[in-house]
Amino acid sequence: MSTTLRHSDTCQVKLAKSSKTVEAVVSQFIFEDKLDIILNKSVKLTLKWNGRCYEGIGAGMDVESNGPTVVKTQTGIRG
């Protein structure tokens, strides 16, 4: 058996200073390690896993996110 992780293309990102939540596009995602997002089609940020959420600093903003929705599927011997 094999386990496959699939994630959504977008995620919710919270801006720390204003407590505002915006939607970001997921560029690259490594489960519980790294999350690369794109805000407003122009700002690319890298968020690191801190044990409970992804957080990072960029473009004068402190941001945090729970990451994209992840679905785990298991495949059997026959696919």
pLDDT score at 79: 57
In this predicted structure, the answer to whether residue 58 has a pLDDT above a threshold of 90 is: no
Is residue 65 a contact partner of residue 24, using CB atoms and an 8 Å limit? Answer: yes
Q: What is the pLDDT of residue 59?
A: 78
17 SS3 class = coil
CB neighbour list of residue 79: distance below 8 Å, 6 or more residues apart: none
pLDDT for 52 equals 96
For the stretch 12-53, pLDDT in tens is: 999 988 889 999 999 999 999 999 999 989 999 999 999 999
**CB-based contact 62:17 (threshold 8 Å):** yes
Q: How far apart are CA 5 and CA 17, in angstroms?
A: 32
pTM of the predicted protein model:
0.85
Q: Which residue has the higher pLDDT, 10 or 19?
A: 10
